[in-house]
Structure 1
Amino acid sequence: MTANQPTTGPSVLVTGGSSGLGAAVVAGVARGGGRPCVLDLQKPADGVPWVKCDLADTRGAEEATRQLADQVGGLDGVVTAAGMDVPGRLADVPAETWERVVAVDLLGTVAVIRAALPYLQRSRGRVVTVASTLGLKAVSDATAYCAAKFGVVGFTRALAAELAGSVGVTLLVPGGMRTAFFDEREERYRPPEDASLTDPGSVAAAVLFALSQPPGCAVRELTYCSETESSYP
């Protein structure tokens, strides 16, 4: 993408929009004539409005969401694609690190959506939260990530019931993707070379499908993963 961004079309805020799934969603929104904007610690593609934001600072995330929404003239959609993980046994992961995973993945998701709600209710917009297959199936050495993603699943299901008829809510449950998510892990926590990982562009297409539903309809939950994904079912 370049600085020549569309000036019309739905505005969609994407957390974590500078890389991985978030960047693929940003690109897809722009290709479809929409207006993506980003909350992230890193700068997204050229010309995409963004506010630098650490989602672990929930009050800061709320303020950044309002700032960005006002900057782009409102919001029609929010996609919470930002996420992190530091795997390890509970006794071995520093408390600050464990709690940061939960803060970014769960509390940051909630904070952004909370701040975006007035804009989404005015536009009768849509939310897509990004959980994980590890929000449905627990595994060893992932207590923080599972706690956060199980939380995203429960939060989103409750939010869908709460906002029914005013804001569309979709829970996306992706499996492992071919992104930099695994790059900084110890070797034992990385997918093997022959692992079947999904392309983030394909997962982004599922997000866009959820965002594009007609008024009065919503894709409530969508699991998207490799046919051989080991963490689903």
Structure 2
Amino acid sequence: MIWFRSVLYSLGLVVLTPIFAVIALLIFPLSAVNRNKIIAWWSRLMFAWLKITCGLSFKVEGAENIPHGPAMIMCKHQSAWETMALQLIFPPQVWVLKRELLKIPFFGWGLAATSPIAIDRGQRAQAQRQLMEQGRDRLNKGLWIVIFPEGTRIKPGERGQYKQGGARLAKDLEVPIVPVAMNSGEFWPKNSFCKWPGEVTVRIGKPILPEGKNSLALISEVEAWIEGEMEQITGRGPCYQKSE
């Protein structure tokens, strides 16, 4: 039954994604914020379909901590789930991602319409410069910035290395960091076709200000909050397997 329901979800994905890819091409003349608001409807529709087909929903704790002004989101990354969910929870945003993703047919077109910060990870010095220039440009346009500080998806119950690049960017751009913890990988595991029913928990922390802190101290504070919250919400989903 899980597999069949996941097939139904994927059929919806196959039907809806090309439609929004065409929409993405048509709305390029609009402002970056308005393009993001329109493309976010893809996530809204896919989440509604996800609940209908797979019985997977979510709850948000700490929504009152979302600031009114531009900010940087630093989020635990366990699944493809949060790449859609963050668009529903936070104001219009951009992601820091590999430039190669923009070349994916249909999906990449829609992604390009959101004005992501697309960097070449093979050129580290150039990537850092791109990060700074594009990050400042996106904030000036009223967009938030999303960074997964561990750099990749991490299995539930595990912890990756928190990198300082996002913290340096937050300091240079003088924006607060909003830490986010979630247990999405316990319902939609990494590289898994199947999605299990249940309720993902999303916890949002109070903004962490960069003033008076170096990048190491800043990312350490972000890591301490996220991992502390992960200890409380880990183990609630059907796909969690405790490490021996």
Does TM, scored on the shorter chain, surpass 0.5?
no
TM-score range, shorter chain: 0.3 to 0.5
Return the TM-score normalized by structure 2: 0.35
Higher relative contact order structure (alpha carbons within 8 Å, sequence separation ≥ 6): 2
Higher helix share: 2
Q: Mark the structure with the bigger radius of gyration.
A: 2
